[in-house]
Chains A and B, each alone.
Chain A
Amino acid sequence: MENLSLEGALTVTFVRSLLAHANIVDVDATAAEALPNVQVMTAADLDLGVFGPGFPDVNPSMGRPLLVVDRVRFVGDIIAIVISDDSATGADAAELVYVDYDQLPAVVSPHESAKDEALLFPEAGTNVATRAGSPEHDENLFDGCDVVVSGTFVSQRMAPCPLEARSAAAELGPDGRITAWLSTQTPHQDRTALAETLGLDPAQIRVVGLDVGGGFGAKTLNVEEVLVVWLARRLGRPVRWTETRSESMTALPHGRAASLEYTIGGTRDGKVLAYRLEVLQDCGAYASVGAVLPGLTGLMASGVYAIPRIEFESRSVVTNTTPVSAFRGAGRPEASQAIERAIDTFAAELGMDPAEVRRRNFIPTNAFPYTTASHAAYDSGDYEGALELALRSVGYDALRDEQRQRRERAATTQLGIGISCYVEITNGIAEIEFGEVEITRDGGAIVRTGSFSHGQGHETTFAMIAAERLGLPVEKVTVHKGDTDEVARGTGTYGSKSTQIGGAAARLAADDVLEVAKQLVGDYLEASPADIVLDPALGRLHVAGAHSLGISWADLALRASADGRLAELRAEHEFQAAAPTFPFGAHVAVVEVDTETGRVELRRLVAVDDAGTLINPLIAQGQVHGGIAAGVAQALYEDFVYDDDGNPLTGTFVGYAFPSSADLPSWEAVEMETPTPLNVLGAKGIGESGTIGATPAVHNAVVDALAPLGVRNVDLPANGENVWRALRKAKA
């Protein structure tokens, strides 16, 4: 965005709160506005309402004002906007905006928040934004269980840390239309939301998503982008904003931040009969996506197991911290982290091998479609197959032997082996996606998709899908996305849904174009369209049984073009799957733990990730690799923390332990493909699987290493200090 040539563009710098909770007494911009060409705006200058929450069941009074009016609720809340000629002046001016705060006690812990003693939104009368599941306990839930065990853990707060921070630019055209260039995952949804927030007709807005880099769920329309677009209209000049790294750490929404408590019960021979999961979700300062994520946790509570009785309950509360939103996995990692820790805790209590306990509880491969007691309708799966493949690949028995030897000689460095069997939900609300295929004058094709690609490689995958249906070489197919003026409709990219609906729409549109082409070829060859077939190897349409009576795409395009009929070779298709899909897999992690320092070294991670049919295995592997890294990062490294006053302690990469490749081993990814019947491609989502599978595998491995020392749990991230604390607790 910084490189966009925008004549006379102004730079936006946000003045952000330095306190977590305070009333704003006064904002004095005199000194700032004394700098050349600097203008400062506050809420008093704004004629806009509140942003969000946007979910029907979430307390409506907990939305976020676009600029704070009288109260800041987290370090990073936006108090004022500095408009300047360049970013250096903007940074200087922002420092000179004096804010007079009247500090309020900060509510940092969600457990404190849930007591409703200090309220973030007094008018709401509570800090609870929403609830899910049932608060009613079935006292007989664990009837018939020989063994019942419980545990608690925190799926800690994570900063998404895109390498490319956010950026936005907007320009009002001479026709009164506004163009917004955004770092986003959802251009079309952003257009709708901008129109609603700014009181405009969506037709007045063009959103262009550029190659913006990873979003990980966090890069959806937020207050900053709305303000940039509003400013371009208000000022009548182009404006742009690029987030600093520091800003990205506290202003871009965070992920996870859930406290979980599980109870699992079953028989002595390892059969799980009942499971209860309670979640306390930290929404951060304003209730938005984060408030409703526990719904997904509850839906996926059963994991890969046939558990007869399940209870789930969640509360989502606001705190004086960065707002929480979707982050790679978004509600599902919490579910797999809980059930996989619960199964291991249950296995430890029984003294049974955790792999064996899993075998005794899997949903059988012949049971699909299968609806769990937590109400998820799984499409297809082979959970036991995935585990056996992972165990074979890792050499499970030999590792257990090595572990036994180290335990026998009480080695300082112990070996841990952790298993995670997961299932997750992708295309979670069975959305619709738009695809369009158009034959170009040179006999190639353009695919327009309503899905968005910010590094996922749809440009390649969707081209492959269309090319195969049309019999064109893949380099003759170009994928266009992200410009709402060019692509008629779309929902964007999140929830690992792109290929299964966007890819399917592209394929169906390609099939539709082929049908139109058969009509045209029928006309040209004076044959019935029903007799025209495609030779996919040659990219040629011909009369069935008469190869010589045919025409190539290139010739067809030329001829149609000459006849003014090229426009006919174009088709749109909207695809909506009947239901979500459920990718699954099994991860096995091998760790070494120094029992003196607590240091954990991840030695291996074998990952079987089954996302149905793979279109491009290399791209799928890329998604798996990045996903696992994020999952391992949660297991061993990252944790966004605040002090008691709500000041972020991990606001830079010095404090926030974002790992690099130097910290991680090479993953051993093992392919497995169990197609879904829910779309023509047989594809499920793959973008989040690695993350969902990896965290509990590594977490279980660390606990497994320390089991002979009496350790039953290690807090996340399982870094040196948390391991040391667990060891100390076990000794006490």
Chain B
Amino acid sequence: MIPAVFEYERAGFVDEAVELLGRDEEAKLLAGGHSLIPAMRLRFSRPSLLVDIGRLDDLRYVREHGDRIAIGALTRHADLVGDAMLREHCALIGEAAALIGDPQVRHRGTIGGSVAHGDPASDLGTILLTLDAEFVARGPGGERAIGAGAFFTGPFETALEHQEVLTEIRVPKTAGTYLKHVRRAHDWATVGAAAARVDGRVHVGLTSMGPTSLRARTVEDALADGATPADAAAHVAEDAMPPTDASASSEYRLHLAQVLVRRALERM
């Protein structure tokens, strides 16, 4: 439970973080630290340099950005829960953030850290994928926007380059719902199911049902073709590759996903 040796640097601004990342191929960004630090303590993760961006307060905001809402990458889960603008325009995010971990986690963990970690069990990852969010990253070459569909590339892998810092996430103004099944209040989702209306279509997302957060596109297509929630949800198996682990078997996850997707759709 003692991490391997590492160096530590604190970045004063985003470009400094970008530059510090460039110094060491094994460098990692530290935001809220609630995924990274436990992994380091178990020595699953052994970065040789930690670049702490936890004090970049100018990346902590929720504001309107044209017809979208822009969320600073270092906005903490607890801030998402209480944010009035999100409640009005995209309540799904605050509602889901309230289900993450326990109060300690929600007061330290950040939305950017959660998605950049690329955990298939991330609630916010699934919701941002479902919402077709846009991810803004800054690297040595400047800024670029990455679409949600291209962002999650594998288990604990994203489209972010080594030297890129995720700075902002943009989501549409819309309504949706997120249902999460957990063994214990503070657990990661055994299964999570999100449904949201985006550009006139119902999107469905899944948590802990494959190597990354997933879109249930077969379910979505069935809905677009007029299927009932129950009939559409029955297609979940075609969209998912649920793992077996200590919290659930693959087959139970599949069953749960069908129930949760149906219930989420019934609430739409």
A→B interface (CB under 8 Å)? 87-88, 91-92, 95, 244-246, 596-599, 637, 641, 649-650, 652, 654-660, 662-663, 719-721, 724-725
Interface size on B, residues (CB 8 A): 25
Q: Shortest distance in angstroms between B255's beta carbon and chain A's nearest beta carbon? A: 6
Q: Is B42 an interface residue (CB 8 A)?
A: yes
The answer to whether B246 touches A720, judged by C-beta atoms less than 8 angstroms apart, is: no
Q: Shortest distance in angstroms between B217's beta carbon and chain A's nearest beta carbon? A: 24
Q: Is B175 an interface residue (CB 8 A)?
A: no
Once bound together, how far apart are the Cα atoms of A598 and B253, in whole Å?
A: 12
Q: Which residues of A contact B245 (CB under 8 A)?
A: 649, 655
| Interface positions of B from 222 to 268, Cβ below 8 Å from A | 245-249, 252, 255-256, 259-260
Known: A721-B248, A721-B249. A660 touches B185 (CB 8 A): yes
Once bound together, how far apart are the Cα atoms of A507 and B183, in whole Å?
A: 47
Q: Shortest distance in angstroms between B96's beta carbon and chain A's nearest beta carbon? A: 17
Once bound together, how far apart are the Cα atoms of A162 and B245, in whole Å?
A: 24
Known: A244-B1, A650-B246. A724 touches B255 (CB 8 A): yes
Q: Which residues of A contact B42 (CB under 8 A)?
A: 246, 652
The answer to whether A597 touches B247, judged by C-beta atoms less than 8 angstroms apart, is: no
Once bound together, how far apart are the Cα atoms of A95 and B247, in whole Å?
A: 29
The answer to whether A599 touches B184, judged by C-beta atoms less than 8 angstroms apart, is: no
Q: How many A-B residue pairs have CB under 8 A?
A: 62
Q: Which residues of A contact B184 (CB under 8 A)?
A: 637, 657-660, 662-663
The answer to whether A660 touches B102, judged by C-beta atoms less than 8 angstroms apart, is: yes
Q: Is B188 an interface residue (CB 8 A)?
A: yes
Q: Which of A597, A655, A656, A659 is the one whose CB lies under 8 Å from B181?
A: A597
Once bound together, how far apart are the Cα atoms of A570 and B256, in whole Å?
A: 67
The answer to whether A597 touches B256, judged by C-beta atoms less than 8 angstroms apart, is: yes
Q: Shortest distance in angstroms between B90's beta carbon and chain A's nearest beta carbon? A: 26
Q: Which residues of B contact A659 (CB under 8 A)?
A: 184
The answer to whether A657 touches B183, judged by C-beta atoms less than 8 angstroms apart, is: yes
Interface centre among A244, A656, A721 (most CB of B within 10 A): A721
The answer to whether A649 touches B246, judged by C-beta atoms less than 8 angstroms apart, is: yes
Q: Which residues of B contact A87 (CB under 8 A)?
A: 2
Q: Which residues of B contact A641 (CB under 8 A)?
A: 246
Q: Which residues of B contact A652 (CB under 8 A)?
A: 42
Q: Which of A91, A95, A719 is the one whose CB lies under 8 Å from B183?
A: A719
Interface centre among A245, A596, A637, A649 (most CB of B within 10 A): A596
Q: Which of B5, B246, B252 is the one whose CB lies under 8 Å from A656?
A: B246
The answer to whether B246 touches A91, judged by C-beta atoms less than 8 angstroms apart, is: no
The answer to whether A662 touches B246, judged by C-beta atoms less than 8 angstroms apart, is: no
Once bound together, how far apart are the Cα atoms of A596 and B4, in whole Å?
A: 45
Q: Shortest distance in angstroms between A62's beta carbon and chain B's nearest beta carbon? A: 29
Once bound together, how far apart are the Cα atoms of A88 and B247, in whole Å?
A: 32
Known: A597-B256, A660-B186. A246 touches B1 (CB 8 A): yes
The answer to whether B4 touches A92, judged by C-beta atoms less than 8 angstroms apart, is: yes
Q: Shortest distance in angstroms between B35's beta carbon and chain A's nearest beta carbon? A: 11
The 23 sampled A-B contact pairs (Cβ below 8 Å) are A92-B5, A244-B1, A245-B1, A597-B260, A598-B252, A641-B246, A652-B42, A654-B246, A655-B246, A657-B183, A657-B187, A657-B247, A658-B184, A659-B184, A660-B184, A660-B185, A662-B102, A662-B185, A662-B186, A663-B184, A720-B256, A721-B248, A721-B249
Known: A637-B184, A660-B186, A662-B102. A597 touches B246 (CB 8 A): no
| Interface positions of B from 162 to 215, Cβ below 8 Å from A | 181, 183-188, 190
For B188, the closest partner residue in chain A by CB is A654
Q: Which residues of A contact B187 (CB under 8 A)?
A: 654, 657
Q: Shortest distance in angstroms between A97's beta carbon and chain B's nearest beta carbon? A: 15
The answer to whether A88 touches B246, judged by C-beta atoms less than 8 angstroms apart, is: no
Q: Shortest distance in angstroms between A346's beta carbon and chain B's nearest beta carbon? A: 31
A-B contacts besides A244-B1, A655-B247, A662-B184, 15 pairs, CB < 8 Å: A87-B2, A92-B5, A246-B42, A597-B256, A597-B259, A654-B187, A654-B188, A657-B183, A657-B247, A660-B102, A660-B184, A660-B185, A662-B102, A720-B190, A721-B252
For A244, the closest partner residue in chain B by CB is B1
For B248, the closest partner residue in chain A by CB is A721
Q: Which residues of B contact A246 (CB under 8 A)?
A: 1, 42
Once bound together, how far apart are the Cα atoms of A659 and B190, in whole Å?
A: 15
The answer to whether B2 touches A88, judged by C-beta atoms less than 8 angstroms apart, is: yes
Q: Which residues of B contact A721 (CB under 8 A)?
A: 248-249, 252
Known: A244-B1, A597-B259, A660-B102. A720 touches B186 (CB 8 A): no
Q: Shortest distance in angstroms between A723's beta carbon and chain B's nearest beta carbon? A: 10
Once bound together, how far apart are the Cα atoms of A163 and B255, in whole Å?
A: 35
The answer to whether B183 touches A637, judged by C-beta atoms less than 8 angstroms apart, is: yes
Once bound together, how far apart are the Cα atoms of A663 and B183, in whole Å?
A: 9
Q: Which residues of B contact A599 (CB under 8 A)?
A: 181
Q: Is B55 an interface residue (CB 8 A)?
A: no
Once bound together, how far apart are the Cα atoms of A641 and B248, in whole Å?
A: 12
Once bound together, how far apart are the Cα atoms of A663 and B256, in whole Å?
A: 20
Known: A244-B1, A660-B102. A95 touches B185 (CB 8 A): no
Q: Is B63 an interface residue (CB 8 A)?
A: no
Q: Which residues of A contact B102 (CB under 8 A)?
A: 660, 662
Once bound together, how far apart are the Cα atoms of A378 and B93, in whole Å?
A: 59
List the 7 closest pairs (A to B, CB-CB), nearest first.
A655-B246, A662-B185, A244-B1, A91-B2, A721-B252, A596-B259, A649-B246
The answer to whether A720 touches B183, judged by C-beta atoms less than 8 angstroms apart, is: yes
Once bound together, how far apart are the Cα atoms of A476 and B255, in whole Å?
A: 63
Once bound together, how far apart are the Cα atoms of A658 and B188, in whole Å?
A: 14
Q: Shortest distance in angstroms between B196's beta carbon and chain A's nearest beta carbon? A: 21
Q: Shortest distance in angstroms between A18's beta carbon and chain B's nearest beta carbon? A: 13
Q: Which residues of B contact A88 (CB under 8 A)?
A: 2
Once bound together, how far apart are the Cα atoms of A725 and B1, in whole Å?
A: 36
For B179, the closest partner residue in chain A by CB is A597
Once bound together, how far apart are the Cα atoms of A476 and B184, in whole Å?
A: 45
Q: Which residues of A contact B188 (CB under 8 A)?
A: 654
Once bound together, how far apart are the Cα atoms of A720 and B259, in whole Å?
A: 13
Once bound together, how far apart are the Cα atoms of A658 and B247, in whole Å?
A: 12
Q: Shortest distance in angstroms between B228's beta carbon and chain A's nearest beta carbon? A: 16
Chain A proximity mask over B27-49: 1 for CB below 8 Å, otherwise 0 = 00000000000000011000000
Q: Shortest distance in angstroms between B187's beta carbon and chain A's nearest beta carbon? A: 8
Q: Which residues of B contact A92 (CB under 8 A)?
A: 4-5
For B256, the closest partner residue in chain A by CB is A597
Q: Which residues of B contact A654 (CB under 8 A)?
A: 187-188, 246
Q: Which residues of A contact B260 (CB under 8 A)?
A: 597
For A657, the closest partner residue in chain B by CB is B183
Q: Which residues of A contact B181 (CB under 8 A)?
A: 597, 599, 720
Once bound together, how far apart are the Cα atoms of A662 and B259, in whole Å?
A: 24
Once bound together, how far apart are the Cα atoms of A724 and B102, in whole Å?
A: 27
Q: Which residues of A contact B5 (CB under 8 A)?
A: 92
Interface centre among B181, B184, B190, B249 (most CB of A within 10 A): B184
Q: Which residues of A contact B249 (CB under 8 A)?
A: 721
Chain A proximity mask over B1-31: 1 for CB below 8 Å, otherwise 0 = 1101100000000000000000000000000
Q: Which residues of B contact A598 (CB under 8 A)?
A: 252
Q: Which residues of A contact B190 (CB under 8 A)?
A: 720
Q: Shortest distance in angstroms between A468's beta carbon and chain B's nearest beta carbon? A: 43
The answer to whether B252 touches A720, judged by C-beta atoms less than 8 angstroms apart, is: yes
Known: A244-B1, A720-B252. A95 touches B246 (CB 8 A): no
